[in-house]
Amino acid sequence: MTSGGNSLTAAVLLLIMMKVFSVLTLSCSSTMYQAQDLCCQKCPAGNRVKTDCTETAHTSCVACEGGTHMDKPSGLKQCTHCTICDLSFGLKENRTCTSTLDTVCKPEDGFYCVDVAAGSCMAAHKHRQCQPGEYISQTGTAFRDTECSDCSNGTFSDGTLKFCRPHRPCESLNLKLIRPGNATTDAQCEEQDQDNVVPIIIGCLLTILVIGIVIVIVIYVKRKTLCPKRDVL
Ligand SMILES: *[C@@H]1O[C@H](CO)[C@@H](O)[C@H](O)[C@H]1NC(C)=O
Ligand SMILES: *[C@@H]1O[C@H](CO)[C@@H](O)[C@H](O)[C@H]1NC(C)=O
Ligand SMILES: *[C@@H]1O[C@H](CO)[C@@H](O)[C@H](O)[C@H]1NC(C)=O
């Protein structure tokens, strides 16, 4: 670079610094904002600045257009775009955007929030699915994931219930256990073998036969004892 170029650069820098310094020294109240070397009235919430104030004119404000908002008084020339609750992030609207308040998102059903900013959910994850052999020990909410716990011994679950069901007690149902249960599957029982049924049937028939014989004997004996008496009378 030439020395002429250097001095020109220095002069420009000095000018910029002077400008910055003069700007920095201008301090506006909280209801005002700075436009060039003037303090202008801020536009109210729900509005943006259309044109800055001048020596002779107030700030000109205009309402935020649809889909945008301004949540506090400002000197900004653009309203902020409303947040869109993104379904692909598991989000839906809990409060629609107005000109003064941004959208508030919440997790959609079956999701819970993993990232909250300014009271609005920014991202949500799907509730975990309990596995077979587990039960839902804590149902998931919009703020908390589902919790799963293992089934205790002697019970089973496919993972969709809030409890584990006890295995079918084959023995106490007088059934034959053909496959013991585990945490995911119920015990399997089967009707007792025919071998066991035949003696039972035979036993019943024998009982009926014995009762029949007893009845016959009783009737025979009664007749024998009653008839002579009738003869006497
Ligand atoms: C939705 O908004 C209501 C009212 O502000 C609040 O009570 C509730 O917790 C919000 N729901 C979620 C899931 O953030
Ligand atoms: C469940 O059964 C297994 C094996 O049958 C045993 O090792 C374990 O201690 C039992 N657990 C409970 C909680 O009874
Ligand atoms: C439980 O039993 C079922 C059916 O017999 C079987 O498929 C499964 O692998 C068993 N699970 C465990 C954890 O033993």
* DSSP letters for 89-158: GTEEEEE---SSS--EEEEPTTEEEEEEETTEEEEEEEPPPPPTTEEEEE---SSS--EEEEPPTTEE--
Q: Is 24 exposed, middle or buried (0-12, 13-18, 19+ CB in 10 A)?
A: exposed
Domain 127-184 has what CATH class? Answer: mainly beta
pLDDT tens digit sequence for 74-92: 999 999 999 999 999 999 9
pLDDT tens digit sequence for 177-212: 999 999 999 999 998 765 666 777 888 889 999 999
Distance 168 CA to ligand 2 centre (A): 18
What is the value of pTM for the model shown?
0.63
Q: Is the CB of 149 under 6 A from ligand 2?
A: no
Q: Which residues of the chain have pLDDT under 70?
A: 1-5, 14-25, 193-197, 226-233
Say whether domain 30-81 belongs to CATH 2.10.50.10.
yes
Token pair of 56 as six digits: 């002779």
Distance CA 208, CA 227 (A): 28
Domain spans of the chain, in order of start? 30-81, 83-126, 127-184
Closest atom of ligand 2 to 153 CA is 1
Closest atom of ligand 2 to 152 CA is 13
E strand or H helix at 49: strand 47-51
CATH of 83-126, one of 3.40.50.2300, 3.40.50.620, 2.10.50.10, 3.30.1330.10: 2.10.50.10
Domain 83-126 and domain 127-184, same fold? Reply is yes
Which one of 134, 150, 185 would you pick to mutate in the ligand 3 pocket, going by the greatest count of ligand atoms within 8 A of its CB? Answer: 185
